[in-house]
Amino acid sequence: MKKIFIKTFGCQMNEYDTNRIYDTVRNIGYIKTNDHLNADCYLLNTCHIRDKSKEKVFDEIGRVRKNYKNKKKPIVIVAGCVAQAESGEMVKREPYIDIIIGPQSYHKINRIIENFNFKNKRELTEFDTEEKFNYLDKIRNNDSNVSSFLTIQEGCDKFCNFCVVPYTRGPEFSRPFEKIIKEAESLIKNGAKELTLLGQNVNAYLYKDGDKIYKLSNLILELDKITELKRIRYTTSHPRDMTEDLIKCYSSSKKLMPFVHLPIQSGSDKILKLMNRNHKVEKYLEIHRMIKEINNDVEFSSDFIIGYPGEMDSDFNDTMELVKNIKFINSYSFIFSPRPGTPASRLKPIDKEIAKERLINIQELLEDYQIKKNQSLIGKSIEVLVENKLRNQDKYFGRNAFLNSVIFEGAKKYIGKLVDIKISKTNRNTLFGKIDEKKNMRAA
Ligand code: SAM
Ligand code: SF4
Ligand code: F3S
């Protein structure tokens, strides 16, 4: 067998794709290795969402070239969103790269690797999403993690003015309902207890079969029936597609986690308009109200872009007010990064120092809510899905309902189980504790 090493950047969809690439190349005799210094094929699965993503790829390739200086050259593949966006320029600038393959062409990877010779560089960047999933549906998903990802939808038709995703992942495509359920059943057979349904616009999922229409809510309620499955999550969603049927799942589904990651980007209507988000802050507040009304346990998290062109102090203050109003937990905030080819990249940027200061302010506020939420759990027993044992430590790792990491003293028998952990201390991102033996008689 030959060995393939994949280094993955970016979002969960890239992680899912990486696993599917491992599954695929197994059919042509390549097995996964974690040893980046001894691979026959070295693949970089790249992300283009922010900053100097292209430069990072070139730096990475430079390191690979050095590491393999006195060894047989591996086949070097650049995949993912940078590959899609920058294909032509990359091979010209870095001849050490052998193959460029965009995210919607992975179904062709076996043929390309098998027929590859070092004199014949290849670039594949067509958008063949349907063909890709038809192909992948025939290859068993070998993921055996307690918590597994499952891509149900790809691409984006929304074209927010700052975002590169519609150009790198192509138009929206929803996988057939029954194929998703089949893959879910197979993952559950492999040991998955939690599934995170993935899509760049996951709540825009829409699959038509004759006169039947399937939405994300239908998928959630169907998965809800599978006894062995304990938890359901989905990410990332858009406020415009947060429909009533989906909102109702927060009371009708027993397994949907009470945690909504719903990016708003800004708390100012003016900025939302400039971003082409096509909704107002009020719409977001209404979703929040509706969900809290049917299930008050639900917590929200968001992504924020700070320093978007045109953002004034008053717009930023509106964003801070929104954070205070919703009390988001587990959120992400980034300084606006102009992405080549997007409409926002042509706008006049705001002062860098002002943007940095605003980022610090919002991160402090977000952190404050996060820490308060975590501290409120000290001394309490919370339900955790145990995922694995930590390497080199006699401790275990799992997550609570709100996706916080929990590290605790436990035992192997609890892996894959929902257990109660008594929390003794916390920091911003992690909760620490030990098994609450009294409460866990049912899990053992
Ligand atoms: N589809 C999701 C939505 O509409 O909210 C977002 C997906 S995007 C992969 C993840 C996050 O990256 C976005 O929510 C946004 O906050 C951030 N992002 C995207 N483009 C960006 C840019 N040009 N500069 C800074 N952050 C950006
Ligand atoms: Fe990007 Fe999300 Fe907007 Fe689509 S909806 S363009 S993925 S930010
Ligand atoms: Fe990055 Fe592409 Fe995901 S740009 S965030 S890897 S969709």
Whole-angstrom Cα distance, residue 268 to residue 256?
A: 30
Cα of 265 from ligand 1 centre, angstroms: 8
| The pLDDT of residue 21 is above 60 | yes
Q: What is the pLDDT of residue 441?
A: 63
Chain centroid, CA 106 distance in Å: 18
Per-residue confidence band for 72, with pLDDT thresholds at 50, 70 and 90: very high
Element (DSSP H or E) covering residue 4: strand 2-8
53 lines ligand 3 (CB under 6 A): no
The conformation of residue 395, written as its DSSP 8-state character, comes to -
| CA-based nearest residue to 306, from 266, 262, 263 | 266
Torsional class of 252: left (φ above 0), alpha (ψ -120 to 50), beta (otherwise): alpha
DSSP bridge pairs for 426: 431
Residue of 9, 157, 305 to test ligand 1 pocket, by largest number of atoms within 8 Å of CB:
305
Ligand that comes closest to the CA of residue 342:
1
Reported confidence tier of residue 123, pLDDT bands at 50, 70, 90: confident
Atom of ligand 2 nearest to the CA of 169: 7
Distance from C-alpha of 372 to C-alpha of 135, rounded to nearest angstrom: 47
User: How far is the C-alpha of 153 from the C-alpha of 198, rounded, in Å?
Assistant: 7
DSSP codes of every residue in 84-118: HHHHHHHHHH-TT--EEE-GGGGGGHHHHHHT--T
Q: Given a cut of 90, is residue 163 above it in pLDDT?
A: yes
Is-contact 219 177, C-beta < 8 A?
yes
285-290 contacts at long range (C-beta below 8 A, 24 or more positions apart): 285/325, 285/326, 287/239, 287/242, 287/247, 287/262, 288/326, 290/244, 290/247
Q: What ranges in 191-280 are assigned the alpha helix state H? A: 216-223, 244-252, 269-274
Sign of CA dihedral 111, 114, 117, 118: positive
Q: pLDDT tens digits, residue range 273-303?
A: 999 999 999 999 999 999 999 999 999 999 9
Ligand 1 centroid – CA 33 distance (Å): 31
Cis peptide before 33 (omega within 30 of 0): no
Give the whole-angstrom CA distance, residue 301 versus residue 80: 26
Segment 356-373, tens digit of pLDDT: 999 999 999 999 999 999
Residue 132 has φ and ψ, to the nearest 5°, of -60, -50
Least confident of 94-98, 234-238, 240-244, 396-400: 94-98
H helices present in 77-197, as ranges:
80-93, 109-114, 129-136, 165-168, 177-190
Contact 60, 7 (CB under 8 A): yes
For the CA of 48, the nearest ligand: 3
Contact criterion met (CB below 8 Å) for 4 and 40: yes
| CA–CA gap between residue 414 and residue 398 (Å, rounded) | 10
Q: How far is the CA of 10 from the centre of ligand 1 (A)?
A: 11
- pLDDT average, residue stretch 250-272: 98
Query: What letters, b where the CB count within 10 A reaches 16 and e where it falls short, cover 343-356?
Result: ebbebeebeeeebe
Q: Indicate the helix (H) or strand (E) that contains 63.
A: helix 53-67
The first and second tokens of residue 179, run together, are 């194929």
Instruction: Of 211, 207, 253, give the one whose Cα is nearest residue 230.
Output: 253
160 pocket-lining for ligand 2 (C-beta < 6 Å): yes
pTM here? 0.95
How far is ligand 1, taken at its centre, from the CA of residue 383, in Å?
31
pLDDT in tens, 206-237: 999 999 999 999 999 999 999 999 999 999 99
Percentage helix, strand, coil for the chain under 3-state DSSP, each rounded to 5: 40, 25, 35
CA–CA separation, 195 vs 163, rounded Å?
27
Burial 186-210 (b: 16+ CB within 10 A, else e): ebbeeebbbbbbbbbbbbbbebeee
DSSP string across 359-381 = HHHHHHHHHHHHHHHHHTTTT-E
Angle subtended by helix axes 12-25 and 80-93, to nearest 10: 70
Question: Is residue 168 within 6 Å of ligand 3 at its C-beta?
Answer: yes
Q: Tell which phi-psi region holds residue 137, choosing left (phi > 0), alpha (psi between -120 and 50) or beta.
A: alpha
Task: Give the chain's domains with CATH numbers.
Answer: 2-126 (3.40.50.12160), 132-375 (3.80.30.20), 381-443 (2.40.50.140)
* For ligand 3, atom 7: residue with the closest CA: 165
- Note the pLDDT of residue 442: 53
Q: How large is the average pLDDT for residues 65-92?
A: 92
What are the CB-based long-range contacts (under 8 Å, 24+) for 278-285?
A: 278/158, 278/240, 279/239, 279/240, 281/318, 281/322, 283/239, 283/240, 284/239, 284/322, 285/325, 285/326
Pocket of ligand 1 (CB under 6 A): 11, 49-50, 162-163, 165, 200-201, 236, 238, 263, 265, 303, 305, 334, 336-337, 339
pLDDT score of 411? 87
Average pLDDT, integer, range 158-182? 96
**Cβ–Cβ under 8 Å, residues 304 and 334:** yes
Three-class SS state of 214: strand
Give dist(CA 254, CA 249) in Å, integer: 9
pLDDT above 80 for 113: yes
